[in-house]
A and B are shown apart, each in its own frame.
Chain A
Amino acid sequence: MIRYVVYWARMVACVLKGGRLYYTWMGSLLVLILLGAWSYSHDVVDGLIRTNMTDEVSWGIGIANFVFCVGLAASALLLIVPAYVYKRHDAKEVVLFGELLAVVAVVLCLLFIITDIGRPERLWHLFPGIGKLNWPSSMLAWDVVVYTGYLIINLHIPGYLLYKQYLRQKPNPYFYLPFVFISMFWAVTHYTVTGFLLSGLGGRPFWASPILAPRFLVSVGCTAPAVLLIILTVVRRHTHFKVQESVFDYLKKVLRFSAPLNLFLLGCELFSQFYSGARTPAAHYLWVGLNGKHGLNPLIWTALALNLATTLVWITPKFRKSHRVVIAAAALTMLGIWLEKGVGLVIPAFIPTPLGEVVEYWPNLGEILVSVGLAALGAFVFTAIAKVTIAIQTGTLAVHGGEDSPRVPAAPGSVPGGDRAPVSFPPGSDRPPASVRTPESEGVA
């Protein structure tokens, strides 16, 4: 028990220690978080009237971001499958990043919902036993169940593996492998339920499409590898942690399939909405405008342009080789999907209302501050846990001393994640030969 408390204390100490770049990054995030919290505090006191949401457009950017974050949570599945099903060592080395990103993504999902509801203090009404969870009738109740389960699983696996590694003990496969396989199926449920959350509403024809859940799953296959490409690049550049090039190749390969598939499914949706001439007012509002109102047109056409351009990058071998292009394309893929499957999927469903009123919506500064603050919180938490993970994985944080790790040639006193990390590896150049092997990769695979 004491050992576990010490472990936590050392992790906290690890997070608090860093170089100037690290402090600048975390400090900036903290400022954004505080701005978001300040804005949200007004929502709590004065009500959601401070947002631009109305009875007509009753879900806004918060829910759009929630839907987008569900996609980020796919990062775990994306790395677990190659690591545990195909037993790829390169993927296994970085699989914890995927799982921890999934944790952060699910936490962000929950926070985007909590900051969006009118009575967050009554959340206990959802807890079975003391509250009244309307399960299995309500898809939102399903969401609560699935998210909580996914969060627990994804907290348990990395939590257990990291602690074992900190103790320099071999993890017991029975304690985590079953959960790894459960989490694979759970992940698919996670995205499907979110798709059903929207497509289950007959009164919103824009969502009531049978391919909404598949579309969702495919776009998830775009955002998760894109964000992992960015994160792993940062990890490789600024820390001692070694990420093999083959992992990047794998992520790019996923995008090579998911990005065109995403466009294909979008095309299918557009065909059925426009070709027959049937009335699809929400789709009309989104793509060409309705009753002289065009608020979301620039946004969705930008999304289409971004998705077309990035798809071109992912399917063209020449572009894929340039690391700069890849990172830029990854960032733009995320932006494109956020516009298409976040904002462009949630908001138009409310325009027009079921009674045909066209009331437009655009987030105001307060809502943007809350959203940015939550995104910053996600980045802050992820940076902190990634730093601890790297320290444990590279052996700088371990039960006995740690700083003079026998496993990794880390410079004494250097802290992964800080700018004092002496080595940075330009893309494509040679990196130190010692690959960091995690105990479970030696013990289980």
Chain B
Amino acid sequence: MSQRPVTCTKTDCTAPSCAPDCAPSAPATGLVQLRRGGGTSRRSILQAAAGGVAAAVAAPACNTPEFEAYFQKHYKKLTDEEKVKVFARLEEKTRQKTGVRVRIGDPPPIEGVHFAYALNLSHCNGNRRCAEACARENNLPDEPEMRYIRVLELDNGSQHLERGTVYYDREKVPAPGKFYLPVQCHQCDNAPCVKACPTGATWKENDGIVVVDYDWCIGCRYCQAACPYHARRFNWVEPKIEPSRINPHQAYLSNRIRQMGVVEKCTFCLQRTRRGMYPACYEVCPTGARKFGDLSDPESEVRQIVENKRVWILKEDLGTEPRFFYFYG
């Protein structure tokens, strides 16, 4: 698989690495500033936070983290100092539970960038590596299995969804007379899930990514009922991931370890894409069916596709205005 430069990034980041597991070495380069931060660099704050964690562990105040977690404010109301504390607490929690030292960052949306996805249905052969790479990158549990990406196997010449299946044998693809339709969160501009959420725990960021504050979600699942793309997942049980499979490079609004009883979804791997890398599903795809980039950059591949190919969107009649385009090319 060749490494393609990301056209969307406005930052001088390093090129994306090919495998999702080794990719997140880039975040440590410290190219991202805190959202509302003043002159402090993210790295120094994180270093300070690390010191804070050490102090917190040494201190005998056992009940404080639970108390703080319970009364934690909505992400948008957290100050930068509070964020540092929250991230440190969450990192420590993961360390205690799994023994893995993870780093939770908070890359902000890159100004002027509007992410979009395009998927070439002529090329997709339903191998489902995207779903697996996504699971590894985003710390999705295997038991019970949770996947953000569903790939439907449909009869040629029909979009009769009920006649399709997601339970096909991935070793025997492409099956004759079939085509494959991968579906994940469409990051709708007019997102029904965002409208539905009673607590404002899910919202659309400036770069177009719909995110969830897992610490604010009450788990009512109204967003799941509202989503026309079946893109949201609920943690019916405390998610368990083998420590060796945990991706330690995490972001607060995306792939950090989730909790029981909250909803989660695809975030276009914002922990990667906001740092100039491609999403895991894009990188792993062996067919080149997946295209990703900045819609507001006239030179970007995805923009070229949307302008020049005959693209279509799923369930256009619902007026959700997705950032996810399909095309045949």
Q: Is the CB of B225 within 8 A of A58?
A: yes
A327 contacts the other chain (CB 8 A): no
Assembly CA distance A138 to B227 (angstroms): 14
Interface range on chain B: under 10, 10 to 19, 20 to 34, or 35 or more?
Answer: 35 or more
From A86-94, A266-274, A355-363, A430-438, give the one contacting chain B. A355-363
Q: Is the CB of A203 within 8 A of B192?
A: yes
Residues of B within 8 A of A299 (CB): none
A140 contacts the other chain (CB 8 A): yes
Contacts of A307-356 to chain B: CB distance below 8 A: 349-350, 352-356
Residues of A within 8 A of B221 (CB): 58-59, 117-118
A85 contacts the other chain (CB 8 A): no
Residues of A within 8 A of B192 (CB): 201-203
Residues of B within 8 A of A290 (CB): 162
Residues of A within 8 A of B319 (CB): 202
A141 contacts the other chain (CB 8 A): yes
Contacts of A204-258 to chain B: CB distance below 8 A: 204
Assembly CA distance A203 to B222 (angstroms): 12
Q: Is the CB of B198 within 8 A of A133?
A: yes
B217 contacts the other chain (CB 8 A): yes
Contact flags (1/0) for B23-59 with A, using CB distance below 8 Å?
A: 0000000000000000000000000000000000000
Closest Cβ–Cβ distance, residue A143 to chain B (whole Å): 8
Q: Is the CB of A126 within 8 A of B199?
A: yes
Give the residue name and chain of the B residue nearest to A134 (CB): B200
Closest Cβ–Cβ distance, residue A406 to chain B (whole Å): 52
Closest Cβ–Cβ distance, residue B161 to chain A (whole Å): 3
Contacts of A350-398 to chain B: CB distance below 8 A: 350, 352-358
Q: Is the interface of B mostly helix, strand, loop or mixed?
A: loop
* Total A residues in contact with B, Cβ cutoff 8 Å: 50
Q: Is the interface of A mostly helix, strand, loop or mixed?
A: loop
Closest Cβ–Cβ distance, residue A9 to chain B (whole Å): 35
B201 contacts the other chain (CB 8 A): yes
Assembly CA distance A51 to B261 (angstroms): 13
From A41-49, A101-109, A167-175, A410-418, give the one contacting chain B. A41-49
Q: Is the CB of B198 within 8 A of A138?
A: yes
B164 contacts the other chain (CB 8 A): yes
Q: Which residue of B162, B219, B220, B224 contacts A356 across the interface (Cβ within 8 Å)?
A: B162
Known A-B contacts A55-B233, A356-B163, A358-B162; the reply to A201 vs B218 at CB < 8 A is no
Q: Is the CB of B199 within 8 A of A125?
A: yes
Residues of B within 8 A of A201 (CB): 192, 196, 225-226
Known A-B contacts A48-B236, A122-B218; the reply to A59 vs B225 at CB < 8 A is yes
Known A-B contacts A113-B220, A138-B196; the reply to A119 vs B227 at CB < 8 A is no
Give the residue name and chain of the B residue nearest to A123 (CB): B218
Contact flags (1/0) for B143-182 with A, using CB distance below 8 Å?
A: 0101000101000000011111110000000000000000
Assembly CA distance A204 to B228 (angstroms): 7
B328 contacts the other chain (CB 8 A): no
9 contacts between A and B (CB under 8 A): A117-B220, A118-B221, A118-B262, A122-B216, A123-B218, A132-B74, A201-B192, A203-B227, A357-B230
Interface residues of B (CB under 8 A from A): 70, 74, 77, 144, 146, 150, 152, 160-166, 183, 192, 194-201, 216-222, 224-230, 232-238, 260-263, 315, 318-320
